[in-house]
Amino acid sequence: MSELLFRDDAYLKSASARVRAVHERGVELDRTVFYPLGGGQAGDMGAVVRSDGTRIPIIDTRKGEAFDSVVHVPDPSAPRLEPGEELTLEIDWARRYALMRLHTALHVMSCVVVAPVTGGNISPDKARLDFDIDINLLNAEKIERETNALIARAVATETTWITDEELDARPELVKTMSVQPPRGAGRVRLLKIPGIDLQPCGGTHVRNIAEIEGIRVLRIRSEGKRNKRVEIALVGAP
Ligand SMILES: [Zn+2]
């Protein structure tokens, strides 16, 4: 288990850490700023810098087998890291910040489209949610307008924790049918956007939804009987 620094501060771009283990999947550290693929959000990329200044690109980040463990995947052509060595970690911040803005945008959009969420994905250039809904009820122009009106409220986001028992008592909090909130530690992390959304989420979010600036709907299409997909991008993104 590694100290997950992004969980308390999603804006941390860099940190020092020590190599704990090196195995065929990648490298585990005592602490990390790299978010591992999960909850639909892509794993971070970036680099780790050795004490001699050598930069080793990190091409992906995944969850490890143990609870709260994180596997950093180095570029395969890079020199092998050694257990015990001290590193400086640097995430690709432009990429992560786009992920944070899009991820938070999905929270807002999930309050505009009122239907069970059956899937979702966030990549640096676009994000999507799948809904169990009649596709005729999905109107791109309306989703865009209403989501952007909520974003314009410029509300600060909050992170809180509740116990597994409290969550069991409030099943309405769980909108996502395909991704159950991470359990196992006796408590579950919630993202709160006051007046807009409250749901379990372990991902990284912006501090204020104004940082999203705005979204546009790229397309709406059917991906199956219970999956009507709404794909979005940030306003100003290519
Ligand atoms: Zn989230």
Cα(111) to centroid(ligand 1), Å: 13
Buried b (16+ CB within 10 A) or exposed e, 170-181: eeebbbbeebeb
H-helix segments, the chain: 5-8, 93-109, 140-151, 164-169
Mean pLDDT of 98-117: 95
Output the CA 87–ligand 1 centroid distance in Å: 29
**Contact status, residue 33 vs residue 15, Cβ threshold 8 Å:** yes
Percent of the chain residues past pLDDT 70, beyond the cut: 95
Read off φ and ψ for residue 99, nearest 5 degrees.
-60, -40
Residue found under tokens 């410029």: 154
Distance 163 CA to ligand 1 centre (A): 18
Banded pLDDT at 180 (limits 50, 70, 90) = low
Backbone angles phi, psi at 227, to 5 degrees: -130, 95
> Ligand 1: distance of its center to the CA of 201 in Å?
5
How many CB atoms sit inside 10 A of residue 67's CB? 10
pLDDT digits (tens, 9 = 90+) for 100-109: 999 999 999 9
Cα 9 to ligand 1 centroid, rounded to whole Å = 14
Q: What pLDDT, on a 0 to 100 scale, did the predictor assign at position 170?
A: 81
Rounded distance from Cα 198 to ligand 1 centre (Å): 10
